[in-house]
Amino acid sequence: MGKKTDKKLWGVITASSVGTLIEWYDFYIFGSLATVLSTQFFPQENPTAAFLSTLATFAAGFIVRPFGALVFGRLGDIVGRKYTFLLTLILMGGSTFAIGLIPGFATIGYAAPVLVLLLRLLQGLALGGEYGGAATYVAEHSPAGKRGFYTSFIQTTATLGLFLSLGVILLTRNITGVEAFGDWGWRIPFVLSAVLVGVSIFIRMRMQESPLFSKIKAEGQISSNPLKESFGKKENLKMVLLALFGVTAGQGVIWYTGQFYALSFLQKTMNVEFVQSNYIIAIALLIATPFFIIFGRWSDKVGRKGIMLAGMLLGVIFYQPIYKQLYSLADLSAKNELTTVAKGPETVTTYSDATIYKQISTRQTAAPVSEVKIVREVVLPVALFWQAVFLIAIQVLFVTMVYGPIAAFLVEIFPTRIRYTSMSLPYHIGNGVFGGLTPFIATSLTAMPGATPFDGLWYPIGIAAVSFLIGLVYISRTTHKNQH
């Protein structure tokens, strides 16, 4: 490959990756700031607002994302990749920026939650169209033997988007202070999106259409109805189903368990303090992120299937022991208590291994019946903090195995004329639905009578095991028939 072509390819990768990273950032800040947003827009004491909040949480992730995959996938296969994923970027950035400007429930009443809900749905729609476009665009610029390596940069964006959102939120909270952040500081990460998206649009505008798409367009081979061709023809539909059940469903649960369920487990099951738990996740993400590229590159040499299925199998085998070890780090019943100091509503207990446990009791007089709310916080000592980082980083490593090569895999099993549509739907059902439901289903499993804190893991373990079996038996070398 010549230097000029190489430079152009890196330009394509940068333009695509930066935009996709910003879209993930936009999508995650809403989730990360859910508590603040609920007080601003969805007060829980108001049943209608609480209903809209639930709708925003579930509908955006589970219904609108696959729907966005269909809408923008079709557009991308007819109009082209470049303009479609430029549109999704504008839609996502505009929605995020607008959320940052909406006055709260106290100022404009029900208009506030309704507007936020609509904008959140637009975010889900845009995200559904973005990933397939970016992955397809990069893959169609890459030489066949290096698709795993070049598309792996797109694969880092979801994790880096989460990392960026955590970083911006923690930094803004630090600068404004906790109280001001709750009042108005939370708007900064949303408004900042406009700057990031502006830069990304500028970069993407300068890019050219994918060469493979331009070629089929020049030859008059563009599909007139990509939806019908993708899902109405058996030859393609069977590959969509194989991609969903044999790869993306397993990938989705591994992805969400290693990053989101891990954070939820740290905060809700282990009661690890908010900032410390976010640092644990952020550091683990940073340590493991290069492996997206390592496994993507390796998949060019040894094949995609083995690496992705190994990631699933490792999750199936090691989730239970990893989470049991993680839980033991903050298990106060197994530690020796040194001192307990009570000061007003706060009680602080120190343990022999330097773990600190804080319990803050507050009486909720606003509730219909006066009740005591207890907040529990565990602060891990340095040694245990790093053990937690290690245990999360292992899980993110599994994520990099299943996720690093997946864009190249999906691109290669579908033909150019319907690629955007065909790969976007299984990806967003696998990642968005199977993966996105992990925290909810896992939490409901642990809440069942007689359940242990580890019973929630049976959901990702079960889905990953089925996906592994389907992938192992049904995916063959002939699956990748569209490598050119």
Partner 1 sequence: MDMLKKALGVLWLLAGAALAVYLPYKAVSELTAAAASSEDFVFWIVITGIFIPISVGFILFGFYALKGEYDAAE
- List residues binding partner 1 (CB under 8 A): 47, 50-51, 54-55, 58-59, 62-63, 66, 234, 237-238, 241-242, 244-245, 429, 433, 437, 440, 469-470, 473-474, 476, 478
Q: How far is the CB of 286 from partner 1 (least distance, A)?
A: 33
Q: How far is the CB of 65 from partner 1 (least distance, A)?
A: 10
Q: How far is the CB of 300 from partner 1 (least distance, A)?
A: 24
DSSP string, 81-106: HHHHHHHHHHHHHHHHHHHTT---HH
- Determine phi and psi for 46, rounding to 5 degrees: -100, 115
DSSP string, 415-452: -GGGHHHHHHHHHHIIIIIIITTHHHHHHHHHTSTT--
Is 184 or 474 the residue whose CB approaches partner 1 more closely? 474
Q: How far is the CB of 441 from partner 1 (least distance, A)?
A: 9
132-145 burial code (b ≥16 CB/10 A, e <16): bbbbbbbbbbbeee
d(CA 59, CA 358): 36
Is 231 or 385 the residue whose CB approaches partner 1 more closely? 231
Q: How far is the CB of 483 from partner 1 (least distance, A)?
A: 18
Q: How far is the CB of 37 from partner 1 (least distance, A)?
A: 16
Which distant-in-sequence residues (6+ apart) come within 8 Å of 117 by Cβ? 52, 55, 56
Q: How far is the CB of 233 from partner 1 (least distance, A)?
A: 12
Taking the CB of residue 40, how many other CB atoms lie within 10 A of it? 23
CB 293 within 8 A of CB 403: no
Is 49 or 401 the residue whose CB approaches partner 1 more closely? 49
Q: How far is the CB of 240 from partner 1 (least distance, A)?
A: 8
Q: How far is the CB of 460 from partner 1 (least distance, A)?
A: 16
CB 186 within 8 A of CB 37: yes
Q: Is 157 exposed, middle or buried (0-12, 13-18, 19+ CB in 10 A)?
A: buried
Taking the CB of residue 284, how many other CB atoms lie within 10 A of it? 25
DSSP string, 13-80: HHHHHHHHHHHHHHHHHHHHTHHHHHHHT--TTSHHHHHHHHHHHHIIIIIIHHHHHHHHHHHHHHT-
What is the helix, strand, coil percentage profile of the chain, to 5?
Answer: 75, 5, 15
Counting Cα atoms < 13 Å in the Cβ hemisphere of 29 gives 30
Is 215 or 238 the residue whose CB approaches partner 1 more closely? 238
Is 121 or 288 the residue whose CB approaches partner 1 more closely? 121
Structure tokens at 483: 């490598």
